Amino acid sequence: ELPDSVTLPGTTDTNGKGYRNDNRSETTHLSRRYTYTGPAWYSRQVDIPAAWQGHTITLTLERTRPTRVWVDGEYVGYDSRISAPQRYDLTQYLTAGRHRITVCVDNGESIPAQVRNSSHACSESTQTNWNGILGRIELEAADAVHISDIRVYPDPEAKSARVRITVAGSEDLADGTRLTLSAEAFNSPRRHRVEAVTTPLQRGRAEYDITLPMGENALLWSEFSPALYRLTARIEGHDELQTTFGLRRFAAVGTQFSINGITTFLRGKHDACVFPLTAHTPMDVESWRHYFRTLRDYGINHCRFHSWCPPEACFTAADLEGIYLQAELPIWGSLGNDDSLNNFLTTDGIAIQRAYGNHASFVMFALGNEMSGDQKVMNALVERFRAEDDRHLYAYGSNNYLGSRGHAAGEDYFVTCRNGWADDYSTHTRGSFSFADAEEGGIINNTYPNTRTDFSQAIASCPVPIISHETGQFQIYPDYAQIDKYTGVLAPWNLEEFRRRLREAGMESQAEDFARASGEWAVRLYRADIEMDLRTRGFGGFQLLDLQDYPGQGSAYVGILDAFMDSKGLITPERWREFCSQTVPLFICDRVCWIADNNIYGDIRIANYSPLDLAGRKVAWRLSRQDKGRTIATGTITIEPQPKKQGVLDAGTIATLL
C-alpha cells in the first residue's frame, strides 16, 4: 500500500508532487513548479472478470519513461521505450479476481545520460524530464487467436495496398478459418468502399502478405487532399482489428521531394515540444489538429520533431490535416561504441517504426539533432530501421557535424545549414547564422540586400534533397503581457527576471516598443530567408527554427507566435502566406533600395508547388507609392509553358521608370 495518491494519466508535475522549486533566478528556460528525478511508484488494484480466462491479457502504457512492472508482488519485466507505447503480457499473472498492479517509472538513470540531458524528449528546455504515465493506460483481453500486427504498404501507381498481417495463436486455428480485409474512405467528400478480400488461414502459420486492390476510383493522400482509408482485418469468430492509411508515395526524386509524382516543397517548422501548461506532449487528437490547422494557416506543410517522436494522436491529426512529419530518435549528441546507448536507441527506433509506420503523414525519420561521432554507427542504425520499415525516407540526423562534412552515402535526404565547409557563403543553405559558426553572421547579415541570391551553388554537389536546418533564428524581445497565460506547471520566472532588469534600467515603459520593433524587423528577415529558399531551383525545403517561441536554450523568443501558438500581432496569416505558401510570386532583382529617376527592373518568377499547371495564367503587377497609394505603373504577363509544371517558373521581366 502506497501512502499517497495521484491522478493518471498525468505526471508528478501535474499532480503537484516532488520538490517545490523556489529558484527564481533561472533564465535559460521556463521553471518547473515541482521537480523530481528518479524512480516513482504507482500501484492500483484491479478486478479481473472470469470471462477473461483463456484470453491474452495485455497492459498498455501509452507514453511513459522506462518502467518495471509487478503483479501481486511478482516481478513481470522491464521496458525502456520512451517514444512508443509499452506493452506487458500479463496473461500468466492475472487470474479471475482481485490483483494489484505496480509500476515503477524511472526518469533518472534508467534513461541514458545523453538522452536525458539534451534531447527534447527529456530536456528541461521544453517538455521537461517529467515522471508519470500519459495517454492510454489499459488492460485488454484478446482472443487466444488474434491479429497482433497490421502493416500497410500503399502503392498509388498500382491503385492497391500490400497488407502484412501477423496472427498470434495461429497453432489454435481451426480448419477453414478465414481472414477478411476491407477498407473504406472516411474523411473525404468522395466516398469510396474497397471490395473485400478473403484469405484462408493455415494452422501454425502466423505471417500473411495480401494484396488489396483498391480500384480505379481509389483516392490519393497528400497535403492537397488528405484522403484516408480505414482498413478492417477480421478473423471469423476470433478477432477484428482496424488501422488507417493513406494511398500515397512520398519520395526523393533528384534534389526535390514528390508526393504521388507531384514535385513538392517542404515549408516546415521545428518542434521542440513546447506546451507550457502541461510540460509534456498532448495525447489527444483534437489538440494536435488545432496545432496543425494553425500551421496550415501560415502556409506550413511540414513539421520536424527535434530529437523526439510525438505520440499516436499527433500522427493521426497530421494524417487528417495533410502535414508531412519527420520524427527523430531522442538524442542530440554523439554516437560511438556505447552499447548501452546504441541498444536503447535501437529499441526505441524499432518501436517507433512499428507503432506509427502505417500513418500517411509519417514520411521521414532521422537519428536525432546535430549528431556527431562515428558515421558507421549512424549508418548501421539507419540500415536496421530501413530493414524494419522502408516506407519512410531516412537521414543520419538533422544538421550533423553542423553540415561541415556534407551529405553522407546512405541518406535519402539531407537536413543541414551548409553543404560542406568553405571560407565563404557558397556552401550555406540558410540565410542567417550565429556569428559563432559563420563569419559575419551569414548571407543576410553581411551582403548587400537583394532578392537574387539563392542557394543553387550550395546544392549543386548534393545528389539528394537538401532541407534548410532551423532557418530564421531571429530573436524578438518578449511581450510581458503573456506572463499571465502561464497558469500550468511551468512558471515564466525567466520573463519576470527580464522585466525586473528592464525596470531597474528605467526602461520598463519601452518594453512594448522593443517587442513591436524587434518583431516587425524579424518578420522582414523571415521573409528574406524564406524567399531565398523558394527561389532556389531544385531546393528541397526549409525547417524554421520555429514559427512559435522556443522558451528554452537561453529563452529563444524567435516566433511570430508565442509559446501557446497565439499570434503576437506582428503579421496576419494572410500576409505571411504571401511568402510562405504553395504558390508564391517572386520579384528577382539586385537591390531592394532604388533611387528616384532610376529604372526599376527585375524578373518575375513563380514558386509553384501546387498541383496546378500555371501555363497560360496571367500575372498582374502594380508599382505604387506605399505612403500615398499612388500607382506609378502596371502590367500583365502571361506565363508561358515551362519544362516542368512545379518548381520555379519564369514569367517575364519588368522595367519601368520610378
Side-chain half-sphere CA neighbours of 324 within 13 A:
28
- Locate cell 504553395: which residue? 582
Residue 209, judged by CB atoms within 10 A of its CB (0-12, 13-18, 19+), counts as exposed
Percent pLDDT > 90 in the chain is 93
| Alpha carbon separation from 379 to 201, 294, 642, 653 (Å, rounded) | 38, 36, 39, 47
- Positive or negative: CA dihedral 637, 638, 643, 644: positive
CA trace torsion 556, 562, 565, 570 (10° rounding): -120
In 321-348, which positions are buried (b, 16+ CB within 10 angstroms) versus exposed (e)? Answer: bbbbbbbbbbbbbebeebeebbebbbbb
Q: Band of the pLDDT at 126, cuts 50, 70, 90? A: confident
- Which of 385, 124, 398 lies closest to 268, judged by CA? 398
Question: What CA–CA distance (Å, rounded) separates 244 from 500?
Answer: 52
Q: Band of the pLDDT at 518, cuts 50, 70, 90? A: very high
With 90 as the cut, is the pLDDT of residue 107 above it?
A: yes
So what's the pLDDT on residue 629? 78
Q: Give the pLDDT mean for 93-108.
A: 98
With 80 as the cut, is the pLDDT of residue 603 above it?
A: yes
Question: What CA–CA distance (Å, rounded) separates 196 from 187?
Answer: 19
Evaluate if pTM is beyond 0.95: yes
The three-point CA angle 87-246-547 to 5° equals: 85
With 80 as the cut, is the pLDDT of residue 335 above it?
A: yes
With 80 as the cut, is the pLDDT of residue 596 above it?
A: no
So what's the pLDDT on residue 232? 98
With 80 as the cut, is the pLDDT of residue 598 above it?
A: no
Residue 629, judged by CB atoms within 10 A of its CB (0-12, 13-18, 19+), counts as exposed
Question: What CA–CA distance (Å, rounded) separates 337 from 217?
Answer: 51
So what's the pLDDT on residue 294? 98
Give residue-wise pLDDT tens across range 485-498.
999 999 999 999 99
Those residues with Cβ within 8 angstroms of residue 121's Cβ, 6 or more apart along the chain or in another chain: 82, 83, 115, 127, 273, 307, 308, 309, 330
Walk across the sheet containing 67-71 and list its strands.
39-48, 97-106, 67-71, 74-79
Question: What CA–CA distance (Å, rounded) separates 80 from 312?
Answer: 18
With 90 as the cut, is the pLDDT of residue 19 above it?
A: yes
Separation of CA 572 from chain center: 23
- Positive or negative: CA dihedral 395, 397, 399, 404: negative
Give residue-wise pLDDT tens across range 264-311.
999 999 999 999 999 999 999 999 999 999 999 999 999 999 999 999
Give residue-wise pLDDT tens across range 608-630.
999 999 999 999 999 988 887 78
Percent pLDDT > 70 in the chain is 100
So what's the pLDDT on residue 65? 98
Q: Band of the pLDDT at 410, cuts 50, 70, 90? A: very high
Rama region for 616: left / alpha / beta (φ>0; ψ in -120 to 50; rest): left
* Whether the Cβ atoms of residue 322 and residue 223 lie closer than 8 Å to each other: yes
With 90 as the cut, is the pLDDT of residue 14 above it?
A: yes
Q: Which three cell numbers stand for residue 262?
A: 507531384
- Locate cell 516513482: which residue? 40
Residue 75, judged by CB atoms within 10 A of its CB (0-12, 13-18, 19+), counts as exposed
So what's the pLDDT on residue 489? 97
With 90 as the cut, is the pLDDT of residue 569 above it?
A: yes
Q: Give the pLDDT mean for 20-43.
A: 96
Q: Band of the pLDDT at 595, cuts 50, 70, 90? A: confident
Of the ranges 356-360, 437-441, 453-457, 587-591, which one carries the lowest mean pLDDT score?
A: 437-441
Give residue-wise pLDDT tens across range 190-223.
999 999 999 999 999 999 999 999 999 999 999 9
Q: Band of the pLDDT at 597, cuts 50, 70, 90? A: confident
Question: What CA–CA distance (Å, rounded) separates 493 from 499?
Answer: 10
Q: Give the pLDDT mean for 416-443.
A: 92
So what's the pLDDT on residue 199? 97
